[in-house]
Amino acid sequence: EETEPVEDVRPQSPVKPMTATEVKVNVSIPEAAERAAATGADGVGLLRTEHMILSLNRTPAKFIEDEGVDAYVDELVQGIRGVADEFYPRPVRVRTLDAPTDEFRQLEGGEDEPSEHNPMLGYRGIRRSLDRPDVFAHELEAFRRLYDLGYDNVEIMLPLVNDAEDVYRSKRLMEEAGIDPEKRTWGVMIETPASALGVEEMADAGIDFASFGTNDLTQYTLAVDRNNEHVADRFDELHPAVLRLIGDVIERCREHGVDTSICGQAGSKPEMVRFLVNEGISSISANIDAVRDVQHEVKRVEQKLLLDSVR
**Residue 39: which residues within 8 A CB-CB, separation 6 or more?**
25, 288, 291, 292
Single-letter residue type at 148? D
User: Of 157, 149, 221, whose CA–CA distance to 192 is shortest?
Assistant: 221
CA distances from 84 to 12, 21, 79, 214 (A): 28, 21, 9, 25
Of 166-205, which residues contact ligand PEP (CB under 6 A)? Answer: 191
- The least distance separating ligand PEP from the CB of residue 1, rounded to whole angstroms, comes to 58
- The least distance separating ligand PEP from the CB of residue 113, rounded to whole angstroms, comes to 18
Of 194-253, which residues contact ligand PEP (CB under 6 A)? Answer: 213-216
User: Of 20, 14, 19, 21, whose CA–CA distance to 39 is shortest?
Assistant: 14
Of 98-137, which residues contact ligand PEP (CB under 6 A)? Answer: none
Strand partners for 261: 211, 283
How many residues lie near ligand PEP (CB under 6 A)? 9
For residue 120, count other CB atoms closer than 10 A to its CB.
Answer: 16
Nearer to ligand PEP, 77 or 157 (CB): 157
Q: Which does residue 214 touch among Mg ion, ligand PEP, none (CB within 5 to 8 A, set by kind)? A: ligand PEP
Nearer to ligand PEP, 64 or 99 (CB): 99
DSSP run (H or E) holding 158: strand 154-158
x/- string (CB under 6 A) for ligand PEP, residues 41-80? Answer: -----x-x--------------------------------
Q: Which does residue 264 touch among ligand PEP, Mg ion, none (CB within 5 to 8 A, set by kind)? A: ligand PEP
- CA separation for the pair 117, 99 (Å, rounded): 16
x/- string (CB under 5 A) for Mg ion, residues 205-234? Answer: --------x--x------------------
Nearer to Mg ion, 160 or 290 (CB): 160
- The least distance separating ligand PEP from the CB of residue 9, rounded to whole angstroms, comes to 42
Radius of gyration over every alpha carbon of the chain, rounded to an integer in angstroms: 20
- The least distance separating Mg ion from the CB of residue 226, rounded to whole angstroms, comes to 9
**For the chain, what is the total number of helices (H) and then of strands (E)?**
14, 8
Peptide bond into 133 cis (omega under 30): no
- The least distance separating Mg ion from the CB of residue 234, rounded to whole angstroms, comes to 18
- CA separation for the pair 289, 293 (Å, rounded): 8
Of 258-277, which residues contact ligand PEP (CB under 6 A)? Answer: 263-264
Peptide bond into 240 cis (omega under 30): no
Nearer to ligand PEP, 39 or 219 (CB): 219
- CA separation for the pair 241, 238 (Å, rounded): 8
Q: Which residues bind Mg ion (CB under 5 A)?
A: 213, 216
Q: Which residues bind ligand PEP (CB under 6 A)?
A: 46, 48, 191, 213-216, 263-264
